[in-house]
Amino acid sequence: MNKRAEVVFIGSGAIASSLGNVLAKDGTKVTLLSIEDEVVKSINEAHINPKYFPTFQLHPTLTASSDKSAISAADIVFLAIPSIAVVDYVITNKDFFGTETILVNLAKGFGSDSAIIPDCLKTQIKNPLVSMKGPSFAREIINGQPTAFTIASENAAISKVLDKLFLNTAIHLDFTTDIRGVEYASILKNIYAIIIGIVDASFDSPNLRSLVLSKAINEMRNLMTGFGGQSQTFFNYCGFGDFSLTALNDLSRNRTLGLLIGKGFFSQDISEKVVLEGRIAANIFYEQLQSKGVPESEYPLLTELYQVFNTSYDIGKFVNNILNDRMQR
């Protein structure tokens, strides 16, 4: 790819707007594809995304559109919509993608009830599919803060295309061929961020936090490898980096969920109204592990969190239970 790449983001949310703005400032032609006409109008006329960054002036060359034909001109398409919507969107609109268009999955979550997005799409499309995950709050990106992502692709040439795309920006990349590991790490970190939130709501103790972080890291790595990922992937930006961001910062929705649970404020009403990736993922992982016959002793933290979500649970016992690696019902 010798010419300057043209980029389309499917979605006009926080991550699409922030990364799109970074690339537009660097001279890349970027279009945000949105189903919200008022957002399209505001971005094109006022250079503001009123839903996500209402006080931030976007770069004037960043454009938005509701016309899916914009996809056809793109060399690289970033999938920046909720994970549960990605697979249907790509399959439904695959005729818009050029045969060599690179699809970059930014979504962190399962693509169906139990499968990661690359597994859902591998027999449905011929386009190269890349995973891009990392510790990346959108408000930091849009304000120009250095931010890291892991690029996962089986094709080294594609990795070089993305490296070139972000070369002169504040986005820092590392690379791996372990797509499964990157996808699973990005899902698991939401689960274990909830656990850290519960612990921090109960005890303001750096010692205890570090203890549970260590347990969480080991359990996450074991689960990631058990589902086909490579152990070293956990030490890419997508693994430990993304987990530490999500588990230790109050901007994280899943950490906040843990804090609510730990303080006794969580309710079914909250879970139904808010997108809580970690809760959904915890149930999926637990049920998959149970179906494979993996003993609960190999994932005690996940098992305890599953009980929190699915039984009448005394949250006051949570910390003692995970410290003792036993489940007191």
Is residue 304 within 8 Å of residue 315, measured between CB atoms?
no
Is 4 a residue whose pLDDT tops 90? no
Residues 6+ apart with CB under 8 A from 291: none
Q: How far apart are CA 19 and CA 315, in angstroms?
A: 39
pLDDT in tens, 221-248: 999 999 999 999 999 999 999 999 999 9
Q: For the chain, which residues make up each domain, given as ranges?
A: 6-177, 180-323
Q: What is the pLDDT of residue 2?
A: 56
- CATH topology for 6-177? Rossmann fold (3.40.50)
Q: What is the pLDDT of residue 112?
A: 82
DSSP 168-220: TSSEEEEEES-HHHHHHHHHHHHHHHHHHHHHHHH---HHHHHHHHHHHHHHH
Q: What is the pLDDT of residue 272?
A: 53
Q: What is the pLDDT of residue 141?
A: 98
Tell me which residue of 156, 86, 151 sits closest to 121, measured CA to CA: 86
- pLDDT (mean) for 179-188: 97
* 101 to 75, 127, 130, 158: CA distances (angstroms): 5, 6, 11, 11
- pLDDT (mean) for 187-212: 96
CATH: 1.10.1040.10, 1.10.10.10, 2.60.120.280, 3.40.50.720. Which one for 180-323? 1.10.1040.10
- pLDDT band, very low/low/confident/very high, at 270 (cuts 50, 70, 90): low
Q: Which of 4-8, 34-38, 39-43, 111-115 is predicted with the least confidence, judged by mean pLDDT?
A: 111-115
Q: How far apart are CA 29 and CA 20, in angstroms?
A: 9
- 277-291 helix and 300-310 helix, angle to the nearest 10 degrees: 120
Q: What is the pLDDT of residue 187?
A: 96
Mean pLDDT of the chain: 93
Q: What is the pLDDT of residue 47?
A: 98
Judge if 6-177 and 180-323 fold alike in CATH terms.
Answer: no
Percent of the chain with pLDDT over 90: 87
Q: What is the pLDDT of residue 99?
A: 87
- pLDDT band, very low/low/confident/very high, at 329 (cuts 50, 70, 90): very low
Q: What is the pLDDT of residue 162?
A: 97
DSSP 85-153: HHHHHHHHTGGGS-TTPEEEE---SBSSSS-BHHHHHTTT--S-EEEEE-S--HHHHHTT--EEEEEE-
Q: How far apart are CA 165 and CA 138, in angstroms?
A: 18
Is 328 a residue whose pLDDT tops 50? no
- pLDDT band, very low/low/confident/very high, at 273 (cuts 50, 70, 90): very low
* 23 to 29, 56, 58, 171: CA distances (angstroms): 8, 16, 11, 10
Q: What is the pLDDT of residue 271?
A: 55
pLDDT in tens, 90-141: 999 999 999 899 999 999 999 987 899 999 998 899 999 999 999 999 999 9
The two beta strands, 129-133 and 147-152, are antiparallel
CA atoms within 13 A on the CB side of 198: 27
- pLDDT band, very low/low/confident/very high, at 279 (cuts 50, 70, 90): confident
